[in-house]
C-alpha cells in the first residue's frame, strides 16, 4: 500500500504478497484462538449486560432483542442507562447514532478487502461489524495477504454474536431470579461497568477532558433538570470541550477507526491489536506513523 | 412480558446499521469532515462517564425531584476505575466494586439507596 491514509486510500483490493506472510490454515488457527478469547469475554460482558438490563426493567425478550438487532455492546450498555433514567427515545437514538458512528471508519477500512464479496453477503456482514470483528478480521486478512470470507464469519459470529446473545439471555433470566439485587451489590455493576468502559476509551488528553467534563456537566445538569437530560448534556458538551485541547498536545494513541481504536472499544480483558513488524507497510486500518490521524 | 423496547431496538438499529454498511456497500460515500471524526472519538468517554457519574451521584425521589447523593457507591466506582486503569481488567474491577458494596451493606456500613 503506497497511500498511508486508511480512509482516503484507493479502494483497490489488496493482493497476495503485499502484506501476507502466513498460510491460510495457520492464520485461521490463530484467528480461532483469538476468537476463543473474545468469546470468553463476550460471555462475561453479555451476562453483565443481561443483569443490568434486567435491573433497568427490560424483559428477557427486550434485552435479547437489543443484543440481536442492535448488536453493539457499548451502545447497549448506554441504552440501559438511558432507559433507566427515563430519557425519551429520540435522545436514546441520537446518542446511539453518535456512539456507533465509529463503525463508519471500520466499514471504510474493510471495504477494499471485501469488495468482491456479493452485495447481499456484504449487507449481512455489515450488521455483524463490531470492534472485535473488525480487529480480528483485518488482522487475519493482513496475515494471509488477501480476503478470507470464512475468516470474517468466524471473527463476527463465532467470537461475538453467538456468545454475546446467549450470555445476554442467561444474564437477564438469572437476574430475574435474584430477589433483592441491591443487597448483593448488583446495582453497582452498571455504573462501574460504564466507568470501566470509559477508562478504556481514554486514549489521549482530549478523551480525558471529554470524560471529566461530560461527568461534571452531566451531574450538574441532572441536579438542575433531570438525570436523563444531564446524560445528554454531558455526552454533547464533553466532546465539544475536549476538542479545545490542541491536537499537538493531545497525545492520541488510538485514532478512531484503526485496529488500536477497535482494541479500546472491544470488550475489556481482550487484546486485539496486531503487533506491527518492523518495516511492515501501513495498511488499511493502520494509523499512519507520521502523527497524521489519517482522517479526511 | 413487555415488548415495548423492541421498537427502540429497531430504531437504534436504524441509526447503527448505516454506519456499518455505508463503507462496505457504497465505497467512497463514507467521508465526513475530519472535525466530525474528532468529535465522535470523544463521544464514547463523555457519554459513558456521564452515565456513571449521574447514576451514582444523583437520586430522584418519588416525585422525580433529583438530589445529590453521597454513598459507598462513589468509592465502589472509584475502585473499579482504579483497578481497570491499573490492571486493564474490567471484570476484576467489577468484582471488586460489587464485593465492596455487598460487604458494606451487609455489615451496616452503608445503606441501600432508596
Mean pLDDT across B96-105: 94
Per-residue confidence band for B90, with pLDDT thresholds at 50, 70 and 90: confident
Measured between CA atoms, the residue of chain B closest to residue A224 is: B66
pLDDT of residue A294: 30
pLDDT of residue A271: 57
Q: What is the pTM of this model?
A: 0.72
Burial class (CB in 10 A: 0-12, 13-18, 19+), A224: exposed
**In this complex, is the C-beta atom of B44 within 8 Å of any C-beta atom belonging to chain A?**
yes
Between residues 55 and 74 of chain B, which touch chain A (CB distance below 8 Å)? 55-58, 60, 64, 66-68, 73
Q: How many domains does chain A have?
A: 1
With pLDDT > 90 as the criterion, what percentage of chain A qualifies?
32
pLDDT of residue A11: 37
A283 domain-assigned: no
Nearest CA of chain B to the CA of A267: how many Å? 9
Structural domain including A36 reads 24-186
CB contact under 8 A, B16 and A93: no
**In this complex, is the C-beta atom of B12 within 8 Å of any C-beta atom belonging to chain A?**
yes
CB contact under 8 A, A127 and B42: no
CB contact under 8 A, A201 and B48: yes
A220 domain-assigned: no
CB contact under 8 A, A100 and B45: no
CB contact under 8 A, A107 and B100: no
Quick one: DSSP state of residue A285?
A: T
pLDDT of residue A171: 93
Q: What is the largest CA-CA distance in chain A?
A: 60
Q: What is the 3-state secondary structure (H, E, C) of chain B?
A: CCCHHHHHHHHHHHHHHHHHHHHHHCCCCCCCCHHHHHHHHHHHHHHHHHHHHHHHHEEECCCCCEEECCCHHHHHHHHHHHHHHHHCCHHHHHHHHHHHHHHHHHCCCCCCCC
CB contact under 8 A, B23 and A238: no
What ipTM score was computed for the predicted complex, to two decimals?
0.86
A201 domain-assigned: no
- Chains A, B: CB contacts under 8 A, how many? 355
pLDDT values of chain A reduced to their tens digit, one per residue, 296 residues: 333 333 333 334 454 444 566 788 998 998 888 888 788 878 888 998 999 999 889 999 999 999 999 999 888 988 998 898 888 999 899 989 988 887 887 888 788 889 889 999 999 999 999 888 887 888 888 888 888 999 999 989 998 999 999 999 999 999 888 777 778 888 888 888 888 878 877 888 999 999 999 999 999 999 999 888 888 899 889 999 999 998 877 777 777 767 777 777 776 655 555 544 433 433 434 433 333 333 22
Which residues from chain B sit within 8 angstroms of residue A62, using beta carbons? 2-6, 9
Identify which of A102, A185, A243 has the shortest CB distance to residue B102. A185
Mean residue pLDDT across chain B = 87
Q: Is A57 left (phi over 0), alpha (psi -120 to 50) or beta?
A: left
Tens-digit pLDDT profile for residues B20-72: 998 899 866 556 677 887 887 888 889 889 989 998 999 888 777 899 999 99
Identify which of A81, A92, A122 has the shortest CB distance to residue B24. A122
Tens-digit pLDDT profile for residues A226-283: 888 888 899 889 999 999 998 877 777 777 767 777 777 776 655 555 544 433 433 4
Q: What is the 3-state secondary structure (H, E, C) of A225-279?
A: CCHHHHHHHHHHHHHHHHCCCCHHHCCCCCCCCCHHHHHHHCCCCCCCCCCCCCC
Amino acid at each position: 500500500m503506497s497511500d498511508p491514509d486508511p480512509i482516503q486510500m484507493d479502494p483497490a483490493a489488496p493482493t497476495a504478497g503485499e502484506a501476507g506472510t502466513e498460510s491460510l490454515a495457520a492464520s485461521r488457527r490463530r484467528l480461532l484462538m483469538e476468537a476463543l478469547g473474545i468469546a470468553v469475554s463476550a460471555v462475561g460482558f453479555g451476562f453483565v449486560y443481561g443483569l443490568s438490563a434486567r435491573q433497568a426493567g427490560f424483559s428477557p425478550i427486550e434485552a435479547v432483542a437489543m443484543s440481536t438487532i442492535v448488536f453493539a455492546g457499548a451502545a447497549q450498555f448506554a441504552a440501559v442507562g438511558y432507559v433507566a433514567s427515563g430519557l425519551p427515545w429520540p435522545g436514546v437514538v441520537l446518542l446511539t447514532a453518535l456512539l456507533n458512528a465509529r463503525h463508519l471508519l471500520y466499514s471504510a477500512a474493510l471495504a477494499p478487502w471485501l469488495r468482491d464479496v456479493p452485495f447481499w453477503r456484504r449487507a449481512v456482514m455489515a450488521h455483524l461489524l463490531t470492534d472485535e470483528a473488525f480487529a480480528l478480521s483485518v488482522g487475519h486478512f493482513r496475515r494471509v495477504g488477501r480476503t478470507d470470507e470464512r475468516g470474517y464469519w468466524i471473527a463476527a459470529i463465532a467470537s461475538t454474536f453467538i456468545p454475546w446473545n446467549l450470555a445476554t439471555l442467561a444474564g437477564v433470566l438469572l437476574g430475574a431470579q435474584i430477589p433483592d439485587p441491591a443487597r448483593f451489590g448488583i446495582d453497582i455493576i452498571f455504573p462501574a461497568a460504564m466507568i470501566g468502559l470509559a477508562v478504556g476509551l481514554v486514549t489521549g488528553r482530549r478523551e480525558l477532558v471529554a470524560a471529566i467534563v461530560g461527568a461534571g456537566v452531566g451531574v450538574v445538569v441532572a441536579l438542575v433538570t433531570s438525570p436523563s437530560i444531564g446524560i445528554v448534556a454531558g455526552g454533547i458538551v464533553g466532546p465539544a470541550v475536549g476538542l479545545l485541547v490542541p491536537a499537538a498536545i493531545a497525545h492520541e494513541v488510538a485514532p478512531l477507526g484503526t485496529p488500536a481504536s477497535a482494541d479500546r472499544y472491544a470488550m475489556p480483558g481482550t487484546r486485539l491489536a496486531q503487533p506491527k513488524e518492523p518495516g511492515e507497510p501501513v495498511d488499511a486500518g493502520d494509523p499512519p506513523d507520521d502523527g497524521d490521524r489519517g482522517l479526511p | 412480558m413487555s415488548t415495548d423496547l423492541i421498537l427502540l431496538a429497531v430504531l437504534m438499529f436504524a441509526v447503527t446499521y448505516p454506519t456499518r454498511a455505508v463503507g462496505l456497500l457504497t465505497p467512497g460515500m463514507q467521508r465526513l469532515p475530519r472535525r466530525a471524526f474528532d468529535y465522535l472519538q470523544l463521544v464514547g468517554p463523555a457519554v459513558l462517564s456521564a452515565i456513571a457519574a449521574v447514576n451514582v451521584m444523583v437520586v430522584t425521589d418519588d416525585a422525580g425531584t433529583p438530589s445529590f447523593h453521597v454513598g459507598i457507591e462513589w468509592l465502589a466506582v472509584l475502585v473499579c476505575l482504579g483497578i481497570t486503569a491499573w490492571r486493564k481488567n474490567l471484570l476484576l474491577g467489577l468484582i471488586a466494586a460489587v464485593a465492596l458494596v455487598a460487604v458494606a451493606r451487609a455489615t451496616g456500613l452503608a445503606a441501600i439507596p432508596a
